[in-house]
Structure 1
Amino acid sequence: MLYAVLGPFSAMNDRGDAIAGLAARHRQLLALLVLNANIALHRDQLTGLLWNGRPTISAPRNLTTYVAQVRRRLSPRDPSLSPVHTVKGGYLLSVRPGSVDVAEFNQWAAQGRIARENGDYHNAARLFEKALSLWRGDALLDVRQIDRLRTWAERLDEDRRAVTEDLFDVRLALGHHREIVGGLAQWATRHPLRERPHRQLMLALHRSGRTHDASASYQRLRRTLVDRLGTEPSPDTQALHQRILTGEDPSSAAARLRVATQRAERA
């Protein structure tokens, strides 16, 4: 079985065909089991998760029904061969390595970051693009009614944003500043409080000979942060703006940007 969480939740057979007949509760249950893949979940724990800590009187009986139905959907010919197993006091979903898309995403993202740190920017860009190509929309979009799944989805969405900005970073290092200005401007507009893409946009504009626009981008960011959060841009962002105003070598600014980015990732 294959499971996709980088978008609406989906379960597929080994040929990649979507499993038919999974109702909303089935997808929520299966997604919770995927989140805890190869880990036994006690019935009470799973019931609490599926009903957001407020199970109804009929919840334990309904859980038994949902598990039986999911087994039949996953293995119509013989439900006993389903990857959902009954263990002492609960259930366990058996998942093979590489059968959940987020594991592949994490692997390619990690390899991309290693390549970036080694200065292999072409390979880093390729790996980041492969990781991002797995996404089909917001993570677990159709099962976020479950609190634990919404928390997981929000963390996955943040991972996606970070890798997107990693890709912008290496494309800047490759000198693709003119090509990515438009995409960076849209990304910064979508995420007005994220300073990293604004720094990247400032640098891309400056390197494209648009220093005035780079400074204007900084001022927009500053007004947004002051108005919404009551805070000034970070020292790294202010320092980059000052270097742009004084015409310092952009390659030096790029190096400082990478250091600031890596420091922020470790924080």
Structure 2
Amino acid sequence: MEIGVLGPLAVLDGGVPIDIPGEKVRAIMATLALSPGVTVSSFDLLGELWGERPPRSAANSLQGHVARLRRALVQHSGKETMRGLIRTSGTGYMLALSPACVDASRFVADVELAGRLRGSDPGKVVTVLAEALATWRGPALLDTGHGMICRTAAARLEETRLMARELVIDARLALGAHHEAVPELEELLSRHPLRERLCEQLMTALYRCGRQADAISTFHRLRHRLTAELGLEPSPALQGTLAAILRQEAALLRGPS
């Protein structure tokens, strides 16, 4: 059994998709999949499905939605044992799967591994994260409703996805692939114009490509946005990168970004 939340909800049994009908039923499955092997309280599920003011019938409705979820798992798989995938406890429900069966859990674990390898094995970082990023099929938790648990998890996963792309770029710069990194960094910075780490990476890549003036211009564009929109100056790290470029420090050409 595999559960995918890095995009629309996907439930697969031996690679065969199982249709989970109804937004609330999908929200239950997604919420449980975010904490596999851990009981999610009925109180939290009620809040996820109906917000802060659930109707009086919400508890009964929750039981009905869970029953529909179990029925869908059994009917589409043809296996009565699939009913036990959603377990009832005294306080709520649990998805009886290992975190390794959920794409989001695997993705976060891969990013954590890449973070540990970043200073020692950039080639491995690129390989691990290229495979991990390829598992995304669209925005996280795309069709699982607007409950707080799923919305918070989606934002956290999207931030982790961006961190993963930054780690990949760090690794590529360490491997000397600065020319290839520039277009990707320009595209990322256009979508995240206040992201200082992306700006620092782009400045470094441009400088290593012999484009010192463009690297300096990149800094000043970000500085203008920061001061105009937030009243802030660039971080000391970013200002340090600018200073190193202005001094034409040789270490910036060969060292990690």
User: Under a length normalisation based on structure 2, what TM-score does the superposition of the two structures give?
Assistant: 0.92
* Residue number in structure 2 paired with 1:104: 106
**Could you say if the C-alpha distance between residues 80 and 86 of structure 1 is closer, same or farther in structure 2, counting changes exceeding 3 Å?**
farther
Distance 2:111 2:246 in 1: 34
Cα deviation, 1:171-196, whole Å, max 9, x if unaligned, reads 11111111111111111111011100
* Residue number in structure 2 paired with 1:260: none
**Could you say if the C-alpha distance between residues 110 and 226 of structure 1 is closer, same or farther in structure 2, counting changes exceeding 3 Å?**
same
**SS of corresponding position for 2:137:** coil
Amino acid corresponding to residue 154 of structure 2 in structure 1 = A
Cα deviation, 1:40-65, whole Å, max 9, x if unaligned, reads 23433322232122211221121111
> Is 159-168 or 59-68 further displaced after alignment?
59-68
Asked whether the 8 Å contact 2:216–2:242 carries over to 1, the reply is: yes
Distance 1:39 1:89 in 2: 11
For residues 174-189 of structure 1, the aligned pairs below 5 Å read: 174-189=175-190
* Residue number in structure 2 paired with 1:261: none
> Is 47-56 or 237-246 further displaced after alignment?
47-56
| Aligned sequence identity (%) | 37
Cα deviation, 1:74-130, whole Å, max 9, x if unaligned, reads 112455642012222432221134110112212322222222222x21111111111
Amino acid corresponding to residue 156 of structure 1 in structure 2 = L
* Residue number in structure 2 paired with 1:85: 87
* Residue number in structure 2 paired with 1:211: 212
Distance 1:86 1:147 in 2: 22
* Residue number in structure 1 paired with 2:118: 116
For residues 106-185 of structure 1, the aligned pairs below 5 Å read: 106-118=108-120, 120-185=121-186
Asked whether the 8 Å contact 1:207–1:250 carries over to 2, the reply is: no
Asked whether the 8 Å contact 1:202–1:217 carries over to 2, the reply is: yes
**SS of corresponding position for 1:136:** coil
Cα deviation, 1:201-256, whole Å, max 9, x if unaligned, reads 0011111011010111011010010111101100110111111112111436844x
**SS of corresponding position for 1:3:** strand
C-alpha displacement at 1:36, in angstroms? 2.9
**Could you say if the C-alpha distance between residues 107 and 44 of structure 1 is closer, same or farther in structure 2, counting changes exceeding 3 Å?**
closer
**SS of corresponding position for 2:88:** strand
C-alpha displacement at 1:148, in angstroms? 1.3
Distance 1:21 1:158 in 2: 27
Distance 2:185 2:82 in 1: 48
Amino acid corresponding to residue 2 of structure 2 in structure 1 = L
**Could you say if the C-alpha distance between residues 90 and 112 of structure 1 is closer, same or farther in structure 2, counting changes exceeding 3 Å?**
closer
For residues 50-61 of structure 1, the aligned pairs below 5 Å read: 50-61=49-60
Distance 1:97 1:158 in 2: 20
C-alpha displacement at 1:144, in angstroms? 4.6
> Is 242-251 or 214-223 further displaced after alignment?
242-251
Asked whether the 8 Å contact 2:7–2:139 carries over to 1, the reply is: yes
> Is 54-63 or 154-163 further displaced after alignment?
54-63
* Residue number in structure 2 paired with 1:2: 2
Distance 2:80 2:114 in 1: 40
Distance 2:3 2:162 in 1: 21
Distance 1:21 1:57 in 2: 25
C-alpha displacement at 1:141, in angstroms? 1.7
**SS of corresponding position for 1:7:** coil
Q: Which runs of 5+ in 2 are unaligned?
A: none
**SS of corresponding position for 1:98:** helix
Amino acid corresponding to residue 98 of structure 2 in structure 1 = R
> Is 28-37 or 88-97 further displaced after alignment?
88-97
Q: Answer 1 or 2: higher relative contact order, Cα 8 Å, separation at least 6.
A: 2
Distance 2:232 2:200 in 1: 17
**Could you say if the C-alpha distance between residues 179 and 90 of structure 1 is closer, same or farther in structure 2, counting changes exceeding 3 Å?**
closer
